[in-house]
Structure 1
Amino acid sequence: MDLFISFICVIGFTLIHYFSKYMQFADKAPRSKFLSFSSGVAVSYVFVDLLPKLNEYQLILLVRLENSIWRNIENHIYIIALLGLVLFYSLERLAKRSKNDLQLNEKTKADLSVFWIHMSAFFVYNTIIGYLLVKEPFENSYGILFYFLALSVHFITNDWSLRRDHIKVYDQYGRYFLILAPIMGWLIGVLTEVNEFVLSILQAFIIGGIVLNALKEELPEEKESSLISFLLGVIGYTLLLLLI
């Protein structure tokens, strides 16, 4: 049953990427309310669900690295999460710098080399999310659905960000590239088995990426933000997490 639900969810992820071109509401009024609400959901998901899991993953790594040269390094899992954050921050800066250097206006695509670097990183990111949809030890079916809910909102804002940076080339190629990612991740999860050590590293990397992308796109500037929408996202999703 859980496998069937995860399959429905991965199809939902692909539909979000496909229809991202038509989600104009993310770029228009009331854009601020949507981004504020999605930021609340993302922040709640990170702090209530993801960050507490890092302690569990750190214990797994300590056991696995007990006899290695890395055993004396502290907080391994947090360093991996930090690397995920730094990677996506660097890619974002690279895309913006490319647009500025080429003196692009907002209707022109960024340099193709930067586009494919950006897309490759998000392909891996989305593939891991699709993989974790199968391999994450959810307590029940509701856990899968809430995972889907949080990341669906997250994907919408990520797609909006990629369209903003790459415009037409994203609509022509990028969204189809990302459609394949969660499906591939889901299939890998169904057909293969990995140990907890690898799973913990993947989770930590994704946590770093989600934190950066949530702060980067889902928190609007103060003058554009909607406190009520943000609080609705935080409180509503936190209550859902506490109920499962």
Structure 2
Amino acid sequence: MEHPISVWPILFLVLIHFYGNRLRFLAGVPRSIWLSGAGGVSVAYVFLHLFPELQEGQEHLQENTWWATRFLEHHVYLVSLFGLAVFYGLERSVVSMKRVQVAKDNKEDSKIAPTGIFWVHIGSFAIYNALIGYILFQREEGPVHEMILFSIAMALHFLVNDFGLMEHHRETYRKYGRWILVLFLVLGWGVGFVKEVPQTVVIVLMAFVGGGVIMNVLKEELPEERESRYWAFALGAGLYAILLLSL
């Protein structure tokens, strides 16, 4: 498969995982305005750029998928809903298991998830990263500005995710988690060089990732104890929306 090779987008995202959590000024309570703004950018990209692409993809699926019945005529968006539900369920499971472990160990001040929860959590995000890596590779077939917009949105999204995972797993994430996420990100990107996935599959992957992005951003912004900055979230979303609409 002939394909132009652009390594800077994948390297950019890899560096975010390696060094993003070292930006200590982003940690703490109240929530950093930069993290809230980054979340706003990610959500704006999904609603104004990714979802419109899914509309075109929906037409492709209806023309090329014989099992697309009337009941499933909007199944692309159902996949987005499924992605959102999966990550919501995952987050609730992690929080619930941490509470059980705290009660069991009588450590009320413990905020670090047990090892078993870590592998479930990281395993899910590893698959998520692999999907994003493959979509990133697919973006190289389109205009350069689309790849840049996607790379920026995903880099900021990874930054939000990394701080959320650090809060749950602390040093375990720093030592092992980020390496696993980088590995699967690169593996997903590398799959594009050896296997051309059908367009139908790419559309479904994009839909799942879109739902996941929305859920993973909102779960970091909504908890009351985070003291998130709504104005920063709105500003990030608004400015990136203006940029997307102007192109």
Alignment-derived partner of residue 146 in structure 1: 149
TM-score using structure 2 length: 0.87
Relative to structure 2, which stretch is displaced further, 187-196 or 70-79?
Answer: 70-79
Counterpart in the other structure of 2:19: 19
- d(CA) in 2 for partners of 1:41 and 1:31? 16
Q: In the alignment, is residue 58 of structure 1 matched against residue 58 of structure 2?
A: yes
CA contact (8 A) 1:109 1:169 kept: no
Amino acid paired to 1:214: V
- Provide, for residues 108-133 of structure 1, a one-character-per-residue CA deviation record: whole Å limited to 9, x for no partner: 53122221111111111111111111
| Equivalent position of 1:211 in the other structure | 214
The answer as to whether partners of 1:16 and 1:156 remain within 8 angstroms in 2 is yes
> CA 1:122 to 1:28, structure 2 compared with 1: closer, same or farther past 3 Å?
same
Q: Structure 1 residues 242 and 138 mapped into 2: Cα distance closer, same or farther (>3 Å)?
A: farther
Q: 1:38 to 1:105 in 2, by over 3 A?
A: farther
Instruction: Give the drift of 1:175.
Output: 0.8
Contact preservation (8 Å) 1:84, 1:208 = yes
Is contact 2:44–2:237 with CA below 8 Å preserved after alignment? yes
Matches within 5 A, 1:222-241: 224-241=227-244
1:85-104 aligned at under 5 Å gives the runs 85-103=84-102
Cα–Cα, structure 1 residues 168 and 227, in superposed 2: closer, same or farther, change >3 Å?
Answer: closer
Letter in 1 for 2:23: M
Corresponding position of 2:36: 36
Shift of 1:73: 2.4
Gaps of 5+ in 1: none
TM-score normalized by structure 1? 0.88
Unaligned stretches of 5+ residues in structure 2: none
2:192 matched to which residue of 1? 189
Query: In the TM superposition, what are the counterparts of 1:52-201 in structure 2 within 5 Å?
Result: 52-66=52-66, 68=67, 70-74=68-72, 75-103=74-102, 109-136=112-139, 139-201=142-204
Paired residues, number: 240
Q: Is the 8 A contact 2:131 2:209 kept in 1?
A: yes
Sequence identity (%): 35
Q: CA deviation at 1:207?
A: 0.7
- After superposition, the Cα gap between the structure-2 partners of 1:202 and 1:81, relative to the gap in structure 1 and judged at 3 Å, is same
Distance change (3 Å), C-alpha of 1:3 and 1:162: farther
The answer to whether the 8 Å contact 2:37/2:234 transfers is yes
**How much does 1:237 deviate?**
1.1
RMSD: 2.3
